[in-house]
């Protein structure tokens, strides 16, 4: 006896597709709103494999004008900070200074470090003082050109930070931003991001070695970025429950459609 497809199957399948369509449509509106907010919320948009703006020009700690093209000639640990920062910048630079003594690589030969102020009002005099303070924490002999401290105007700062996927915002006399190290190869290509203010010596060393080889290494930040939002007031990343729940519902809807589409339910004609 010939079997017919159960009409209830088509009803269930249509309902599943309708559920998926409605969720996708609503999620577009939600994430579109999040997208607009992300333009003003500090964070990192990883641009692995892309080049930083080498044509951007700054002043070094001695007040000499220099371009990133002239500076980036070896694996570089790039940091966007501001020297009068009362929060994240000092712990970040202090952590890097402590790690220099723990990795068996030679500064100014195997790699270099470059700090770029994201505050256009800061001067090379301020940068020079900060450099002296930070380098006192380094125990090993450190060459003068091993760690550069740069300042610049707003146009060049935005040009460089934008090319590196680094966003920040001024608020209440301070600058909200996410602490990170950006590893750049000798030809200016971004190879790795290390987020936070603490790092393992092995991670930093491997990131520098990969930069010297020009290897692009994706980080877990791409996944964490979906699950977390940066809170500028608390200066930390917080769990985004709404986004995670939405992703879970979407996954369930997709699985439901797949299950109903693989094999239709059949019944015997009475």
d(CA 237, CA 205) in angstroms, rounded, equals 25
Confidence at residue 66, expressed as pLDDT on a 0 to 100 scale? 95
Same domain, 147 and 215: yes
* Whether residue 78 is found in the same domain as residue 26: no
Q: Is the residue at 105 inside a domain?
A: yes
Both structure tokens of 25? 């449509």
Please state the rounded mean pLDDT for residues 249-261.
70
CATH code, 93 = 3.40.30.10
Check residue 148 and give its pLDDT: 95
- Judge contact between 97 and 134, C-beta under 8 A: yes
Same structural domain, 9 and 34: yes
Q: Quote the CA–CA distance of 47 and 60 in Å, as a whole number.
A: 25
**Mean pLDDT value across the chain:** 78
Pair (14, 61) in one structural domain: no
Looking at the structure, do residues 32 and 126 belong to the same domain, yes or no?
no
Q: Residue 187 and residue 138: Cα distance in Å, rounded?
A: 27
Please state, for a pLDDT cut of 90, what percent of the chain lies above it. Answer: 39
Are residue 105 and residue 218 in the same domain, yes or no? yes
For 214-244, write each residue's pLDDT tens digit. 767 555 445 545 565 544 444 444 556 666 6
Q: How far is CA 80 from CA 43, 103, 177, 251, 254, in A?
A: 12, 22, 9, 37, 41
Q: Tell whether 216 and 154 lie within a shared domain.
A: yes
Q: Is the pLDDT of residue 79 over 60?
A: yes
Q: Tell me if the pTM is above 0.85.
A: no
Of 138-147, 155-164, 181-190, 225-234, the range with the lowest mean pLDDT is: 225-234
Q: How many domains does the chain have?
A: 2
- Whether residue 96 is contained in a domain is answered as yes
Residue 40: the pLDDT is: 47
Please indicate, yes or no, whether residues 15 and 67 belong to a single structural domain of this protein. no
Q: According to the 3-state scheme, what is the secondary structure of 151-188? A: ECCHHHHHHHHHHHCEECEEECCEEECCCEEEEECCCC
**Phi, psi angles (nearest 5°) of residue 4:** -115, 150
Contact 219, 193 (CB under 8 A): yes
Check whether residue 129 and residue 60 sit in a common domain. Answer: yes
For 7-43, what is each residue's pLDDT tens digit? 555 555 555 555 555 455 445 544 444 444 444 467 8
Are residues 216 and 84 part of one domain? yes
pLDDT digits (tens, 9 = 90+) for 169-213: 988 888 989 899 999 999 999 999 999 888 888 888 888 988 888
- The yes-or-no verdict on residue 259 having pLDDT over 70 is no
- State how far the Cα of 236 lies from the Cα of 45, in Å rounded to an integer: 16
Angstrom distance (rounded) from CA 3 to CA 5: 7
- ∠ at Cα 144 (138, 147), nearest 5°? 65
Residue 51: exposed, middle, or buried by beta-carbon count in 10 A (0-12, 13-18, 19+)?
A: middle
Residue given tokens 């985004």 in the structure block: 240
Query: Cβ of 173: how many Cβ atoms within 10 Å?
Result: 6
Q: Quote the DSSP letter at residue 239.
A: E
Domain that holds residue 208: 44-231
Write down the pLDDT at residue 230. 44
Among candidate residues 36, 35, 69, 47, the one with its CA nearest the CA of residue 161 = 47
Residue 173 is assigned to a structural domain of this protein? yes
Q: What is the mean pLDDT of residues 142-160?
A: 92
For residue 119, give both structure tokens: 């505050």
Give the tokens for residue 131: 């450099």
Structure tokens at 102: 């723990």
Indicate whether 215 and 81 sit together in one domain: yes
Asked whether residue 25 is domain-assigned, the answer is yes
- Has residue 262 been placed in a domain? yes
Same domain, 13 and 30: yes
- Evaluate whether residue 201 is within a structural domain: yes
Rounded Cα distance between 164 and 45, Å, is 8
Answer whether residue 260 is part of any domain.
Answer: yes
Q: Within a domain: residue 236?
A: no
């Amino acid at each position: 006896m010939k079997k017919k497809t159960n009409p209830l199957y088509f009803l269930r399948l249509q309902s599943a597709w309708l559920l998926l369509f409605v969720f996708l449509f609503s999620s577009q509106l939600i994430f579109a709103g999040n997208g607009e907010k992300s333009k003003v919320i500090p964070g990192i948009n990883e641009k692995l494999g892309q080049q930083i703006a080498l044509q951007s020009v700054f002043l070094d700690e001695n007040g000499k004008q220099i371009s990133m093209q002239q500076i980036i000639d070896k694996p570089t640990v790039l940091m966007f900070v501001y020297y009068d920062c009362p929060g994240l910048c000092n712990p970040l630079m202090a952590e890097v200074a402590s790690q220099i003594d723990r990795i068996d690589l030679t500064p100014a030969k195997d790699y270099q470090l470059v700090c770029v102020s994201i505050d256009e009002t800061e001067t090379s005099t301020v940068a020079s003082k900060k450099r002296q303070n930070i380098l006192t924490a380094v125990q090993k002999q450190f060459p003068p050109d091993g760690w550069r401290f740069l300042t610049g105007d707003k146009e060049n700062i935005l040009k460089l930070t934008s090319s590196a996927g680094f966003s920040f915002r001024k608020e209440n006399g301070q600058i909200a931003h996410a602490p990170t190290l950006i590893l750049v190869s000798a030809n200016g290509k971004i190879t790795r991001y290390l987020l936070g203010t603490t790092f393992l010596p092995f991670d930093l060393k491997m990131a520098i070695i990969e930069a010297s080889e020009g290897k692009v290494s994706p980080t877990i930040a791409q996944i964490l970025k979906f699950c977390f939002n940066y809170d500028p007031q608390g200066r930390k990343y917080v769990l985004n429950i709404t986004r995670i729940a939405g992703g879970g519902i979407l996954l369930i809807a997709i699985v439901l459609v797949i299950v109903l589409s693989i094999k239709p339910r059949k019944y015997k004609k009475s």
